[in-house]
Amino acid sequence: MFLFKKTVQRFMSAIFLFALQPHHLKIINYAYLINFARVRDAQRPKASSNATLASRAVMYHSALSRIMFRRRLILLLIIATTFLFLSWWPSSSSKSSLRHSKDTSQLTEGFLYTQEDDTVADQSGYKWEDVPLSQSPLNTTFEDMPNLRARILAFSNAFQYSKSRKPVEDAIRLLYPWLPVNEISVLRGKGRGLVYTFGDHDLALAYPLIVGMRLVHRCKLPIEIWYMGEEDLSASNRELLAKIPGVKCKDLTKVIDISIAGYGGWGAKPFALLASSFAEPIFMDADAVFFKDPSALYAHPGYIGTGAVFFHDRTSGWVGSAKDLQWLLSVIPNPSSRTYGSRYIYGKSQHEQESGVVVINKARVFPGLLAACLLNSKPWASKVYQRVWGDKETFWIGFEMSGIPYAWNPGYGGAMGQFSGDKLRVCGRQLAHGDHQGALLWVNNGLRTPQKLPPSKHAQPSIWMNDRSGFNLDWTTDGSDCLLATAGIPTELTAKEKQIWDAFVKIDAHLTAKGMDYPVALELNI
């Protein structure tokens, strides 16, 4: 229907423009009328002069012009009526009716995004009160997910375009009972910052990397560390973390009721983004090692264009089942081009997203973030995790379900480590990611090989590479984590990248030996 409307509109526009070109019609009419006068006079006994022919042509043109004027007027009225009808005619897949404001100054006040995108297709066809799901998601079954998706999309539409708050508040009470209606403005947040979720178990893994953010990268972004209750992160460890400049520890359960939402483990990630005090948070896993100040992510073209940037995982070879794909298409019946072109759809890998780093602008993608939270809450999480691996895929699936655009960082999860003996593979435990320009940006899995603390050893990488296509199974599956060199372009770490890695290793070794304490790290004079 969308293509039909656009075709008709363009055709009518062409007719409209042609109707407004009287000079062309005038030339045609004069040439025709002079010839017509000659034919008529040839049938008479006396021939007429050229002046007579011209005067007759003018007379005929004067009479015909009145007829043409009436015809043109009728034509213009028909065209105008057609345009009005097409503008009024609702279409469930019309992108033109969903063009968004280019005025980014509105972003601080409203939940708008700036880039027209095929992700928002079908949104105009959903009205909150028309979608058949009367009960709360807490009381629904897994088979109700297509209806749930319709509710999510309707909420997204109401949230962005409704002039009344009532549909939005009704939707929140039904879909997100753990979200206080009166605190939405607070959850929008202010400024930029880094967000982590971890407890006592991962403190020794994360502490040196957070210290490195301050000492190695001189990163000035404030940092929030979210934990789930007093038993998750002890008071003594919170005191250690608070010694790092600009770091605050916050209890997620005091912001979002865990007894209602039922999140936990991996599922806490989107909730931490939601609860953070930042308008533009960057979520980072506890074992993410950056080779640049993460502030650079705010200049990512995908982030500027959509307000959300996700990273691809490695191509694992785990493709799931036909039922998994059927489930995905049941909750995203009209996926965007990003999903159509994904490895999940093509059956190449069910690991599409690496959620070790997620960058969002909450004001622009709020409905998508809420949908990701919903997929990680009860009763859905236990069922969704049967189709995907943990929280990873719930970000892009939630954004698709709510019709909110997002961007993938170019390339797929790669390897960082050493060449194999035959130099046909790059082997290493660190999962590498480049930036939008192809330079090494960050790696997952920490500093050690394997990741666990001593007696494991620090990795000494010299080569890294991105997986360029992501559609070939170029990873070895014997536990060695090797990527075939033909999958991309093996690149030696630059002197600066080696220096950054060595600085992080130095901090980790020093704190492991002398205790996790920020003043101890300052002894290194990095």
Question: Could you tell me the pLDDT band of residue 276, with boundaries at 50, 70 and 90?
Answer: very high
Q: Which residues pair with 23 in a beta bridge?
A: none
d(CA 188, CA 191): 10
The residue that leads in pLDDT, 122 or 502, is 502
Could you tell me if residue 132 is inside a domain? no
> In the listed set 37, 70, 88, which residue is the last one of a domain according to the structure?
88
Comparing 108-112, 156-160, 199-203, 342-346, the range with the smallest average pLDDT is: 108-112
- Is 225 among the domain residues? no
3-state class (DSSP) for residue 322 = helix
Q: Quick one: pLDDT band at residue 423, thresholds 50, 70, 90?
A: confident
Phi/psi class of residue 390: alpha, beta or left (left: φ > 0; alpha: ψ in -120 to 50)? left
| Structural domain total, the chain | 2
The more confidently predicted of residues 120 and 518 is 518
DSSP characters over 17-75: HHHT-HHHHHHHHHHHHHHHHHHHHHTSSSPPPHHHHHHHHHHHHHHHHHHHHHHHHHH
> Could you give the CA distance from residue 476 to residue 411 in angstroms, rounded to a whole number?
19
More confident residue, 345 or 52: 345
Question: First-to-last CA distance in the chain?
Answer: 62
CA dist., res. 388 & res. 384, Å (int): 6
d(C-alpha 477, C-alpha 470), whole Å:
15
pLDDT given at position 17: 45
512 belongs to a structural domain: yes
The beta-strand segments (E) located in 346-411 are: 353-360, 407-408
| Residue whose token pair is 């999510």 | 152
Which residue did the predictor score with more confidence, 14 or 305? 305
Which residues make beta-bridge pairs with 192? 280
Give the model's pLDDT for residue 23. Answer: 43
- What's 476's DSSP letter? -
Q: Which of the four pLDDT bands, split at 50, 70 and 90, describes residue 92?
A: very low
Q: What is the pLDDT of residue 453?
A: 55
Spatial separation of the C-alpha atoms in residues 444 and 353, rounded to whole Å: 13
Does residue 302 lie in a domain region?
Answer: no
User: Looking at the domain assignment, is residue 429 inside a domain?
Assistant: yes
Q: For residue 72, what pLDDT band results from cuts at 50, 70 and 90? A: confident
CA atoms within 13 A on the CB side of 292: 14
Residue 275 burial class via C-beta count within 10 angstroms: exposed 0-12, middle 13-18, buried 19 and up: buried
Q: What percent of the chain has pLDDT over 90?
A: 45
- Burial (CB < 10 A; 0-12, 13-18, 19+), residue 404, is buried
DSSP annotation of 403:
T
**Which of the two residues, 292 and 12, has the higher pLDDT score?**
292
Alpha carbon distance 154, 127 (integer Å): 5
Is residue 192 helix, strand or coil?
strand
The closest alpha carbon to 303, from 247, 341, 360, belongs to 360
- How far is CA 140 from each of CA 136, 173, 225, 307, 331, rounded to the nearest angstrom? 7, 15, 33, 32, 15
Please state at what angle helix 394-402 crosses helix 268-275, rounded to 10 degrees. 60
Rg of the chain over Cα atoms, rounded to whole angstroms, equals 31
pLDDT one-digit tens code per residue, 108-159: 232 222 333 434 334 444 454 454 444 455 455 666 677 778 888 888 888 8
Asked if residue 441 belongs to a domain, the reply is: yes
Instruction: Say whether 247 sits in a helix, a strand or coil.
Output: strand
Question: What is the spatial distance between Cα 6 and Cα 247, in angstroms, rounded to a whole number?
Answer: 53
What whole-number distance in Å separates Cα of residue 222 and Cα of residue 195? Answer: 9
Q: Containing domain of residue 470, as a range?
A: 412-524
Distance between CA atoms of residues 220 and 371, nearest Å: 31
How far apart, in whole angstroms, are the C-alpha atoms of residue 397 and residue 360? 15
Are 234 and 249 contacting, i.e. CB atoms less than 8 angstroms apart?
no
Please identify, among 54, 88, 122, the residue that sits at the C-terminal boundary of a domain: 88
Task: Examine the pLDDT at 290 and tell me if it is beyond 80.
Answer: yes
Q: Is 284 exposed, middle or buried (0-12, 13-18, 19+ CB in 10 A)?
A: buried
pLDDT at 73 over 60: yes
Rounded distance between C-alpha atoms, residue 203 and residue 233, angstroms? 9
Domain end call among 57, 88, 119? 88
3 state DSSP class of 190: coil
In total, the chain counts a number of residues equal to 526
Residue 320's nearest CA partner among 329, 332, 310, 311 is 329
Q: Which amino acid is at 102?
A: K
380-418 pLDDT per residue, tens = 888 888 888 878 999 999 999 999 999 999 999 999 999
Reduce the secondary structure of 428-447 to three states and give it as a string: EEEEEEECCCCCEEEEECCC
Decide if 128 contacts 155 (C-beta within 8 A).
yes
In a domain, 382, yes or no: no
Tell me: the pLDDT tens digits for 461-489? Answer: 999 999 988 888 788 866 678 999 988 99
Strands 280-284 and 412-419: unpaired
Lookup: tokens for 72:
């043109």
How many C-beta atoms lie closer than 10 Å to residue 439's C-beta? 13
pTM: 0.75
